[in-house]
Amino acid sequence: MAKIEIYTTTTCPYCHAAKDLLGQKGTSYTEINVTNDPKLRSTMQGRAGGKTSVPQIFIDGTHIGGCDDLHALEQKGALDALLA
């Protein structure tokens, strides 16, 4: 099973939507909440090529983007292969 990391904030609806999709896929993931932690947010930004919005999602260490990117992978039928 793939290692999934998702950077989130508490009230972000896109974070919840991304976590819902991952849950529907039966995957486990590590959630890194950056709501009140500038150091974690800076780490996220560095890993995500400067992106500051949440969620930022990594699968096996590869940055795949945010919620829209995750759903696009699902629509193309490519997400399952990444999660395997």
pLDDT tier, 1 (very low <50, low <70, confident <90, very high otherwise): confident
Which amino acid is located at 78 in the chain?
Answer: A
pTM: 0.95
Q: Residue 20 contacts by C-beta under 8 Å, 6 or more apart in sequence?
A: none
Q: Residue 4 is encoded by which pair of tokens?
A: 């999934």
Tell me which H or E stretch contains 63: strand 62-65
Distances (CA, A) of 18 to 5, 14, 29, 39, 68: 11, 6, 11, 23, 8
Displacement of CA 75 from its chain's centroid (Å): 16
4-83: which CATH number, 3.40.50.300, 3.40.30.10, 1.10.760.10, 1.25.40.420? 3.40.30.10
Tens digit of each residue's pLDDT (9 = 90 or more) over 30-47: 999 999 999 999 999 999
